[in-house]
Homo-oligomer: A and B are copies of this chain.
Amino acid sequence: MNNLLLNHIARHVTLDLSEQELLFNILILKKLNKNQYLLKEGDICKYDYFVIQGGVRQYEVDKNGKELIIHFGFEDWWISDKASLWNETPSIYNIEALEDTSVLQVKKEHLEKLFSLSPKLEHYFHLVLQQTFAIWQNKILFLQKPAEERYRLFREMYGHIEQRISQQYVASYLGITRETLSRLRSQMFKKR
């Protein structure tokens, strides 16, 4: 069950047994039902989460009450509100399970202690953040492109999980309305 995380780590650094132990001592398995929350707007994010099964969406509710999804987290992803986690400020995000989901959770303070005990593990988290950063950087470019291209790019990146996400959530992630996505799709699939 934790093999997913061990493999993920092994792709970046080689831990010795004592380090593995250090890490696994602070991990807690958490199970969520569909529509349960990992984080609610206004709370301070206290944990980093690694998704081992299922999926979540991370979204903001804007002042008109509209939900803007900024990120999905599926198997093999670390997810949290980094800004809230590291600065201990109230989060503007909600993180909600899209399906029944299992995550490994690790508390911020434990993570900090971990980093001071094992530079290699800090290195791992640093590498993961670099990767995550690159993905988010892409999303910025992506949002400046026309709707159809965004949807194409989305399918390139997330095609393998598209059917696990309802269309309205895909639309929200793309930054368009569900109507626009619906029209886009019927056009695209008519063409060929």
Contacts and interface: CB of A to CB of B under 8 A. Distances in A.
Contacts of A129: 126, 129-130, 133
A37 interface: no
A117 to B, nearest CB: 10
A137 interface: yes
A140 B86 contact: no
In the complex, which range does the number of interface residues on chain A fall in? 20 to 34
Contact of A143 (B60, B132, B144): B144
A8 interface: no
A68 B140 CA distance: 10
A122 interface: yes
Contacts of A132: 133
Given A123-B115, A126-B125, A143-B144, A137 B82 contact: yes
Interface string A52-81: 000000001010000010100000000000
A47 to B, nearest CB: 15
A133 B143 CA distance: 17
Given A68-B141, A140-B70, A144-B175, A122 B126 contact: yes
8 contacts: A68-B141, A70-B137, A83-B134, A129-B130, A133-B133, A133-B136, A136-B136, A143-B175
Interface of A: 60, 62, 68, 70, 82-83, 86-87, 92, 115, 119, 122-123, 125-127, 129-134, 136-141, 143-145, 175
